[in-house]
Structure 1
Amino acid sequence: MNPDLERLHPYPFEKLGALFAGLPVADKPHIALSIGEPQHPSPDFVQQVLRDNTALLAKYPATAGLPELREAIAGWLTRRFKLSGVDADRQVLPVNGTREALFAFAQALLDRDQQPLVLMPNPFYQIYEGAAFLGGGEPVYLPCTAASGLQPDFDAVDEAVWKRTRLLFICSPGNPTGAVLSTAQLKALIQLADKFDFVIASDECYSEIYRDKAPPGLLQACAEMGRHDYRRCVVFHSLSKRSNLPGLRSGFVAGDADVLAGFLRYRTYHGCAMPVHHQLASIAAWNDEAHVAANRALYNEKFKAVLDILGEPLKVSAPDAGFYLWPKTPVDDETFARRLKAEENVTVLPGRYLSRTVDGRNPGKNRVRMALVAELDQCIEGARRIRALIERL
C-alpha cells in the first residue's frame, strides 16, 4: 500500500465516536450539532430537474462538464464577485463536490521530488492535510487564534518557509471559525504567491452563508488587481451549503487556466465526471438566488435565537459567515463534549479534533464547534440544554 496512507490521521468523527464509547444514553431526543451537514430542504425546482432527466443515467458524462454548466458557473462567478470575461471553457471545471476536488488537487499539483510545503490554517478542514500527505507534501499548520482574528498570521511565516511552499490552502469564510479574509489580505497573499511561485487554493464553500456583508473572494481580489488570468489562484465552490444539496455532490473549481488544464487531465484519468442529470440540476441552482437568500435568512434567524441563550454564558457572538459557532468552553473541550452527550444528548465537536498541536500549542483546544444546521426548534432546544450543562459546571 502507499506508505503515505499511514500518515493520515483518524477523521474527527472517528475520534468523537471513541470519546463517546461506553457513555450512558440520556433520556432525551438526540440533537446533533457536530457535523456540518445542511438539514434545510433542498430546492423543489432542483429536485424536479433531477426527476425529469433520469433517462440521462444512460449517458456517460464528460469530465469537463456540459458547456451550459460551465457557462452557468461563469455567470454566477461574474455576478457574485464582480468579475469580467471569465472563460467558461478554460477557467471553470465542474467537480463532484469540493471535498473530492480539494483532495485530488494537491496530488495533481505537487511534485514530491521538490519536498514541497503545503500551508494551511490550523484549525482546518482535514482534507487539506490528507491531500498534502498523499501528494507527497509536508503540511505547515498556521495557527488561527483570537490574537490573529481567527485567521492565520501570514506575516509570521518565515521567508524560508515561503520559498519551499508550493500550495497554500485558505478557507474564507473559515471552517470552523467563520472568520473572513479581507480583500487586502487576499491581495497580499497573491503578491506572496507571485514572489515565491506557489498556488493559492481558496476554499470558499461557506461564502453564501453570511450575516450582513457578502465575503470577498480570491478571484475578486485578482480582478481588482487587473489579473483576469487569475494566475496562481484557484477557488473551490459548492452547492452543498449554498443550496442545501450535499447529496448532489456538485461544485466547481475556477481560476488559472493553465493549472485547471493539468487538473482536468488528472481528473479524466481519475474517472470522476459529474452525472449529466446532476449537471442539469446544478445549472438550475447556480442560476437562482432567491432560494439562497431564503436559506441565509434561516441561518441568521437561528444564530439570533441561539445566541440569545448562549451568547452571555459562553461569551460568544455570531461569526461573520458560515453556520458554526466556535466558543471557548468552561472546561476542557473533550470533557465538555462528553458530558454534554451523556447528560443532555447533544453532540458537538471538540476543537482539538480539528487542529494539530504545534510547538506545544493546539489552537482548537478548549473550544468546540457547534453546527447550527438542524431546524430552528432543535437548535433552540440544543442551546437550552447546553446552557443547562454550563450552569451545572
Structure 2
Amino acid sequence: MNPDLNRLQPYPFEKLNALKAAVTPPENLPHIALSIGEPKHESPSFVKQSLNDNMDKLANYPTTKGLPELNATIGQWLTRRFNLTTGSIDPQRHVIPVNGTREAIFSFAQAAIDRTTGDNPLIVTPNPFYQIYEGAAFLAGAEPHFLPCLEEHNFIPDFDAVSDEIWQRCQLLFLCSPGNPTGAVFDSKTLHQLIALADKHDFIIASDECYSELYFDEQHPPTGLLQACSEIGRDDYSRCVVFHSLSKRSNLPGLRSGFIAGDADILKPFLLYRTYHGCAMPIQHQLASIAAWSDEAHVKLNRDQYRAKFDAVLEILGDDLEVSKPDAGFYLWAKTPISDTDFAQQLFAQQHITVLPGRYIGRTVDGLNPGENRVRMALVAPLEECISAAQRIKEFVNTLQQG
C-alpha cells in the first residue's frame, strides 16, 4: 500500500464521534446538529424535475469533458457573476464539470504536483482548513505548509510573513474564500498580490469558492480569483483555477455537481488525467446542473434564509458567547470560555447539540493551533431549530459562567 496513506489523520467527524461517545445526552431534548456543513434548505423543485425528466440518460455513458451546453452555461454564469471580460471564457477550454469540489480538489493536486523537482514540493494551505487539502498534499507526494488564519489578520493568512524560500518550494497554493470555518473573504488587493507571487515563483493558485454565493450584502458579493484576474487584464487566467459547487449555492449536496475553471493550459492535462480517473458526471446530473446554474431566484431565497438565521442566532447569543457575523458563508466561528473539546462535549452532554471543536480542523505549528478554543457552528438547520439551538447554547454558557 502507498505509505503516504499512513499520514492521513482521521476525519474530523470521526474524532467528534469519539468525543461524544464518552457522554450521554439528555433524551428529553431533541438533537440539533450544527457540526456538519450539509445544507438543509429544500432543493429546487425544477432541478428535481429535470432529474426525473432525464432518467432515460442512465443508458448513456457521459463524457469527462461535459456536455457543451453545461460548459456554456457555466461559462455564462462565471462571466455574469464575476464581471469577466466578455468572451474570455471559452467553455470548451476553460471549464470542466466535476462531481463536487471535494473530489476535484483532491484529484487536482495529484495532477498538479511535480515530484521530479527534488526540492520537496509544498502545497501551501490555510490553517484551519478543509482537511482534503492536507490529504491531497500527502497523496500527491508533497508536504502541506500551513498558514495560520488569525483574528488579528481578519482570519486571512499573513502572506507577507511567508519567506521566499517557502514560496520557491510552493507548487500549489490552496485558498478558501469565503473561508471554512471562518467565513473570511479575500479582497482584490490580496488576490492581486498572490497572482504576482505565483508569477514570480511559478506556482498554481487553486481557489476553493464553494461558499461564494452565501453572502449578506446583495450589492457586494465576494470577489473571486478569476474576477481578480480580469481586473488586471489577465484574461488567460494564467496559473489560476477556481472550484465551484451547487452543494451550498443551490442546496444540492447529493447531486455531486460542480466545476473547475481557469487556466486552459492547466486544465488540458487535468482533463487527460480525469479521463483515466473515471469521474465523468452522469448526463442526467449535467442536465439538472444546467437548470440550477441558469437560475438565481432560488439562490437569493437561500441567502435570505441564512440572513434570517444569522440575525436571530447572534441576537440570542448576544454577549454570552464571543462570536460575530462572518464576511460570508454559513458558519459561526465562536470563541469558547473553556477548551473547544470540553465545550463541545459538555454542550452535547447537557443540551444535545453537536458542534465541531476547532482544533479538529486545524494543525499545531510552532506550538499554535488556530482552531483551539473555538468551535464551528453550521447554521444549516431550519430557522426554528437554529433559534432553539442558540437558546440552549446561551443557557449552557451561562452555567459555565456561574460555575
- Asked whether the two chains share a fold, i.e. TM above 0.5, the reply is yes
Match of 2:270 in 1: 263
SS state of the match for residue 188, structure 1?
helix
Match of 2:318 in 1: 311
Match of 1:6 in 2: 6
Match of 1:230 in 2: 237
SS state of the match for residue 313, structure 1?
coil
1:48 and 2:53 correspond: no
Write the letter of the residue equivalent to 2:43.
Answer: S
Match of 2:103 in 1: 100
Give the distance between the partners of 1:320 and 1:295, measured in 2 at CA. 16
* Structural mapping, 1:318-357, within 5 Å: 318-357=325-364
* Structural mapping, 1:28-39, within 5 Å: 28-39=29-40
Match of 2:19 in 1: 19
Unmatched 5+ stretches in structure 2? none
SS state of the match for residue 93, structure 2?
coil
* Structural mapping, 1:1-393, within 5 Å: 1-27=1-27, 28-84=29-85, 85=87, 86-114=89-117, 115-212=120-217, 213-393=220-400
Q: Deviations over 1:267-311 (max 9, x none)?
A: 100000000000000000000000000000000000000001113
SS state of the match for residue 202, structure 1?
strand
**CA-CA distance at 1:120 after TM superposition:** 0.3
Write the letter of the residue equivalent to 1:3.
Answer: P
Give the distance between the partners of 1:96 and 1:173, measured in 2 at CA. 21
Aligned length: 393
Preserved CA contact (<8 Å) 2:322 2:336? no
Write the letter of the residue equivalent to 2:4.
Answer: D
Give the distance between the partners of 1:321 and 1:146, measured in 2 at CA. 15
**CA-CA distance at 1:113 after TM superposition:** 2.7
Write the letter of the residue equivalent to 2:237.
Answer: Y
Give the distance between the partners of 1:311 and 1:211, measured in 2 at CA. 19
Write the letter of the residue equivalent to 1:61.
Answer: P
| TM-score, normalised via structure 1 length | 0.99
Give the distance between the partners of 1:251 and 1:311, measured in 2 at CA. 37
Give the distance between the partners of 1:263 and 1:296, measured in 2 at CA. 33
- Return 18-27 or 125-134, whichever deviates more: 18-27
Superposition RMSD on alpha carbons, in Å?
Answer: 0.6
**CA-CA distance at 1:368 after TM superposition:** 0.2
Preserved CA contact (<8 Å) 2:94 2:261? yes
Identity among equivalent pairs (%): 67
Give the distance between the partners of 2:386 and 2:297, measured in 1 at CA. 24
Unmatched 5+ stretches in structure 1? none
Preserved CA contact (<8 Å) 1:311 1:317? no
Preserved CA contact (<8 Å) 2:362 2:371? yes
- Return 310-319 or 325-334, whichever deviates more: 310-319
Q: Deviations over 1:195-225 (max 9, x none)?
A: 0000000000000000112000000000011
Give the distance between the partners of 1:113 and 1:138, measured in 2 at CA. 14
SS state of the match for residue 380, structure 1?
helix
Write the letter of the residue equivalent to 1:9.
Answer: Q
Give the distance between the partners of 2:332 and 2:134, measured in 1 at CA. 23
- Return 14-23 or 285-294, whichever deviates more: 14-23
Give the distance between the partners of 2:287 and 2:139, measured in 1 at CA. 32
Give the distance between the partners of 2:48 and 2:96, measured in 1 at CA. 23
Preserved CA contact (<8 Å) 2:257 2:285? yes
**CA-CA distance at 1:25 after TM superposition:** 2.5
Preserved CA contact (<8 Å) 2:361 2:371? yes
| TM-score, normalised via structure 2 length | 0.97
Write the letter of the residue equivalent to 1:35.
Answer: I
Q: Deviations over 1:315-370 (max 9, x none)?
A: 32111100000010011100000000011000000000010000001000000000
Give the distance between the partners of 2:115 and 2:368, measured in 1 at CA. 28
SS state of the match for residue 194, structure 2?
helix
Large movers: runs of 4+ above 6 Å: none
**CA-CA distance at 1:313 after TM superposition:** 1.1
